[in-house]
Amino acid sequence: MGQFLKHSCYLHSSFIILFLFSEFYGTLSEAKEETPVVSVYSSRKEHLIKPVFEKFTKETGIKVEYMTDKAQPLIAKIEAEGTRTKADLLLTVDAGNLWQATKTGLLKPVKSPGLEQNIPEH
């Protein structure tokens, strides 16, 4: 893949992630802290996702606390933490891991007009 295409795909993914954070943060019910915080468990490599989180924090003032690992250990961690999980958002690099997390009942739907308008159903 050419460098331009790689960069373009990365930027596109970054903007989607920033949009999801913005939409998701509006649904958080426990944003009582002085500095709002969102907690992300991500299977993306830290050097790829950290700049996205930093940009999000700079643009919104919302601090991103994150943990990176492979998807399966993160899913197992959420499962072990149960209702006391710190994760507000799970990011994976493929749909298969999201499907598995959904099948185990770990994820809940997010209702957002912004998401519904900007992301196709299938």
* pLDDT at residue number 25: 54
Q: Which one is predicted more confidently, 11 or 114?
A: 114
Count structural domains, the chain: 1
pLDDT surpasses 90 at 72: yes
* pLDDT at residue number 2: 39
Quote the mean pLDDT of the chain: 78
Residue 9 has phi, psi (to 5 degrees) of -65, -40
Range of the domain at 7: 3-118
- Which domain CATH number covers 92? 3.40.190.10
